Homo-oligomer: A and B are copies of this chain.
């Protein structure tokens, strides 16, 4: 398989965790980076120059079926011979911590879109490609699909009425897909990030002193471990804190 280009697709790419995941995957994979603001926002990601530019394909997608269909068509044209075998769903919830009665149905719907609908659509695009792969000779996986979760994936605090439902739903999707597609050779995992990630945005808001924050590169190391887990002992869920 050394001659086959391996491709990882990351949806929800901004400066922060997804950039670190991209870096950590870049030694083995070509990268398809997707977000609402890409490709325009690509320079802001500050990807290291060690990643060859022709190993990156940045495309626009808001997680909708139509935008993903377009992106996967572009991907197929760009790297027609590639093997897509990693997918990361890393779309953040847009924070809204108003009281429930100060929120609108629209806030819940926004939370559900980024929480689970985009994850569903990405999975619909990736799983047929994964299933058409042969098992990876090292791990035995036809593909690896990882979802990023949060504290509010497990516990819904009082201010999280519009955010937690989508994150609980994302976790449900990851469980269901793991049970359906695990036996078919697809590793589906859910990573619960139980704390604040020390991104540029967070530093801007909360200051530099991030001793208790999770470092994006440190989190990415575990994503990479999950991608490399052998088939007989896959992790469905873990926490990072």
Contact = CB atoms under 8 A, between A and B. Distances in A.
A180 B165 contact: no
Interface stretch (A33-41, A82-90, A151-159, A201-209): A151-159
A108 B112 CA distance: 11
Contacts of A240: 233-235
A42 interface: no
**Residue of A169, A179, A180 contacting most chain B CB atoms (<10 Å):** A169
A239 interface: yes
| Category for how many chain A residues contact B | 35 or more
Interface string A52-93: 000000000000010000000000000000000000000000
Contacts of A213: 232
Given A100-B127, A161-B177, A176-B157, A239 B230 contact: no
A176 B157 CA distance: 5
**Residue of A108, A157, A182, A233 contacting most chain B CB atoms (<10 Å):** A233
Contact of A159 (B159, B165, B169, B180): B180
Interface in A178-205: 179-182, 193, 198
10 contacts: A108-B120, A157-B176, A161-B173, A161-B177, A164-B172, A165-B170, A167-B172, A168-B168, A213-B232, A215-B230
A59 to B, nearest CB: 20
A215 B198 CA distance: 36
